[in-house]
Amino acid sequence: MNKNYIIPNEWSILEEGFNKENVKSSESLFSIGNGALGQRANFEEDYSGSSFQGSYIGGIYYPDKTRVGWWKNGYPEYFAKVLNAPNWIGIRIKINNTILDLNACKVQKFKRELNMKEGWLSRSFNAILETGEEIEVFTKRFISITHNEIGAIKYAVKAVNFSGEITFSPYLDAGIVNQDSNYDEFFWKTLQIKEGKNNACILSKTLKTGFEVATAMEVSFEHNSNRIKIPQEVLTQENSISYSYKVNCSQGDVATIYKYGSYATSLNHNSDKLIDVAFKNVATANKLGFKTLLAKQKKSWNTIWSTSDIKIEGDIKAQQGIRFNIFQLNQTYLGTDSRLNIGPKGFTGEKYGGSTYWDTEAYCIPFYMATKDASIAKKLLMYRYNQLDKAIENAKKLGFKNGAALYPMVTMNGEECHNEWEITFEEIHRNGAMIYGIYNYVNYTNDFEYIPKFGLEVMIGVARFWHQRANFSEAKNQYVILGVTGPNEYENNVNNNFYTNYLAKWCIEYAIESLQKVKNEYSEDYDRVLKKANLTEAETKQWLQVANNMYFPYSKEKQVYLQQDGFLDKELIPVSQLPNTQRPINQKWSWDRILRSCYIKQADVLQCMFFFEKQFTKQELERHFDFYEPLTVHESSLSPCVHSILAASIDRMPKAYEQYVRTSRLDLDDYNHEVDEGCHITSMAGTWMSIVQGFGGMRVTNKGMLSFNPQIPKEWKSYAFTINFRGNIINVYKSQNNCKFSNESGNEITILVHNEEVKLPSKQLILISI
């Protein structure tokens, strides 16, 4: 049963009424961030109920020692964890010496709003304490885009039915732990606590990795909208510092605290300057003031939305869903720091360690290419190029040689740090996603120069891996790839996963094709790369022997490629025949039962057809969709978007819409019953693709032209989106009867609409009847 408590709204995520059962889910859904740091929507005041505290800083991690029952050669020594950072948002509230705790008082008129248009989070509620006092509370906070080391809070308390004392106790707490720690370790060491007048700072250091972070706060106050100064009382403990400020209020008075917080890290500043930088940041914030910072925040988000918004008319839940996905993607990564990447949970939780997966190349790059400058997507590719040496080390640990590269399934710094054998050793299809990301980028941006300068070295390392990973089968007289896990992680240690074999063949062929083009057009780079990689023509011929003779399991009877050699040995019972009491199977069934079943966690063969759609006929796409989709349980967040796009491409609009709703509201409606652990950030890029590539039918042709085949679900009146294609800003509008295209750029551009050429003059609107 999905959750259904989020109120539909075009621009906001809204919650009304306080339900303790929804606290952790809402902490995920209402998370805020700015691409450099972020936090779950924890309450500022004390809360004794079930909660998942979380504040995170991009790039700050800890190598949590691997915990397995049976150690195997090649296992990573650690699982990298994005650390739960020192808490700066805390404000203990006392009303006449009674602590405000929503778990211990009567809560009325509770409302929470995440305003996605302007980038802020607010709460309002009335609380009746055990001692009878009633207060009205209003809070608003945000993580600044323009000042990306700063956050700001406004916390106002109104004395509804009493006169008395309201005490604000803002604090910093560095005694923080990760909920997913393998050995229940503390990951932080407090080095210094420094107090000041209305400001404070804690300097902390991560164990093992040695990152240093200065966490600072500065506060100011208002009484009935008038600035006031209040004496402070100080309480310093081993890992925390707290100040207390008392405001005497008459009935109806409002007391307000403004709290500004900052993280200054050794990633960006000299260690001996961190405390000074953090203090300077909060002083700057306090001087600017909450209203000025908020105005800047609104302006920043207006700029972001101007190139990334998708408008849907006639379906408010669909509109809310896509904007939530776009909002979270921009909160997670803005491309300002090439050392950072996109974790599956972003800044909303700890699951998956917050590290980088293959999701970035497979799903996220198209979003950042089309909604921002191409340089942002290029930084994601450079992240992998800069870690090529580590990928070669990873492969070497598993017995590969001669510069073969295996990119990690999970990483912070290029080292593999995933500690499940069926993933670490077997889910090698991730290597192909690295190359597909390069192909997708070059195809979309026309920046082929990236390949001779950087990408070719990655291609060579990956091609060497596939050449060595395949082996020749005398029985089949072809090359096979044994003992793998495909995207469908409900099968492990299978032979000849179709998607993996296809990627291996394609990666080699694309590397050979690129080598030839670089040789012809970039001779100096060609000589440099071949010398650096010690690559010979004889070796590339050996690669081609594998690519040209790759085996693909196929059923002549069903006329489909098989997910792996033994797939038809399974009992093929459609998902529709599974009782609801058995779903999701990953929470109801034993792992043994799942592995023996026919059920597919996410697109596998269909993932291949999504990537390489042009290589298959529409009839082939239909046959494979009709065979595999009924067996798919969609228990991966990455599944619905691919099925939505493919369904649209074969004119199955009801199915495309069904899967779009699922992917766009996966977290908002908690389809997978796990949103309390954090949101599914990388799959949100797939939601964007579901509209742009699915309903909009946007593709780039082999000749480099932009092509559209727009369709619209019957549930919608219209939709509109904007894309940046090679510097051309194209607006697309589709209603039930018409389609409009406009070009905001200075140059005329020709596009294809339903395979017909359409010239888009600059600053003009073209109406197409459909």
User: What confidence tier does 769 reach under pLDDT thresholds 50, 70, 90?
Assistant: low
Going by their DSSP bridges, the two strands 254-265 and 212-223 should be labelled as: antiparallel
Sequence-distant (≥ 6) Cβ neighbours of residue 280 within 8 angstroms = none
Other CB atoms closer than 10 Å to residue 657's CB: what's the count? Answer: 24
Q: What angle do CA 231, 285, 121 make, to 5 degrees?
A: 95
Quick check: 391 and 408 in contact, CB under 8 A? yes
In the predicted model, is pLDDT for residue 767 greater than 90? no
Quote the longest CA-to-CA distance of the chain: 90
**Comparing 66-80, 119-133, 356-370, 462-476, which segment has the lowest mean pLDDT?**
66-80
User: What confidence tier does 122 reach under pLDDT thresholds 50, 70, 90?
Assistant: very high
In the predicted model, is pLDDT for residue 67 greater than 90? no
In the predicted model, is pLDDT for residue 421 greater than 80? no
In the predicted model, is pLDDT for residue 42 greater than 80? yes
Task: Please state the rounded mean pLDDT for residues 484-499.
Answer: 97
Q: In whole angstroms, what is the distance from residue 625 CA to residue 606 CA?
A: 7
In the predicted model, is pLDDT for residue 354 greater than 70? no
Q: Could you report the per-residue pLDDT of 536-550, keeping only the tens digit for each?
A: 999 999 999 999 999
Q: Where do we find the tokens 């967040």?
A: 637
Q: In whole angstroms, what is the distance from residue 16 CA to residue 8 CA?
A: 11
Tell me the average pLDDT of the chain.
95
Q: Could you report the per-residue pLDDT of 158-192, keeping only the tens digit for each?
A: 999 999 999 999 999 999 988 877 767 789 999 99
Out of 134, 350, 489, 629, the active site residue is 489
Q: Where are the alpha helices (DSSP H) in 629-769?
A: 639-649, 653-664, 681-689
The three-class DSSP label of residue 193 is: strand
Tokens of 263: 């993280």
Q: Where do we find the tokens 């551009």?
A: 749
Q: In whole angstroms, what is the distance from residue 483 CA to residue 501 CA?
A: 12
pLDDT on residue 74: 76
Q: Is 17 exposed, middle or buried (0-12, 13-18, 19+ CB in 10 A)?
A: middle
Task: Please state the rounded mean pLDDT for residues 585-607.
Answer: 97
Radius of gyration of the chain (CA): 27
Q: In whole angstroms, what is the distance from residue 563 CA to residue 560 CA?
A: 9
Report percent pLDDT > 70 for the chain: 99
Against a cut of 0.95, is the pTM above it?
yes
- Write 450-456 long-range contacts (CB < 8 A, 24+): 450/378, 450/381, 451/514, 451/517, 451/518, 452/518, 452/521, 452/522, 452/525, 452/526, 452/529, 453/525, 454/381, 454/382, 454/385, 455/381, 455/385, 455/514, 456/511, 456/514, 456/515, 456/518, 456/525, 456/529
Q: Could you report the per-residue pLDDT of 204-227, keeping only the tens digit for each?
A: 999 999 999 999 999 999 999 999
pLDDT on residue 13: 98
User: What confidence tier does 770 reach under pLDDT thresholds 50, 70, 90?
Assistant: low
Quick check: 138 and 126 in contact, CB under 8 A? no
Alpha carbon distances (Å) from 105 to 41, 96, 127, 139: 20, 15, 6, 18
Tokens of 133: 């006092």
User: What confidence tier does 650 reach under pLDDT thresholds 50, 70, 90?
Assistant: very high
In the predicted model, is pLDDT for residue 758 greater than 80? yes
Residue type, 419: N
Quick check: 145 and 301 in contact, CB under 8 A? yes
pLDDT on residue 282: 98
201 membership: H or E segment, kind and range: strand 199-206
In the predicted model, is pLDDT for residue 402 greater than 90? yes
Reply yes or no on whether 489 is catalytic.
yes
Q: Could you report the per-residue pLDDT of 685-736, keeping only the tens digit for each?
A: 999 999 999 999 999 998 889 999 999 999 999 999 999 999 999 999 999 9
- First and final C-alpha spacing in the chain: 39
In the predicted model, is pLDDT for residue 569 greater than 90? yes
Q: Could you report the per-residue pLDDT of 293-326, keeping only the tens digit for each?
A: 999 999 999 999 999 999 999 999 999 999 999 9
pLDDT on residue 765: 82
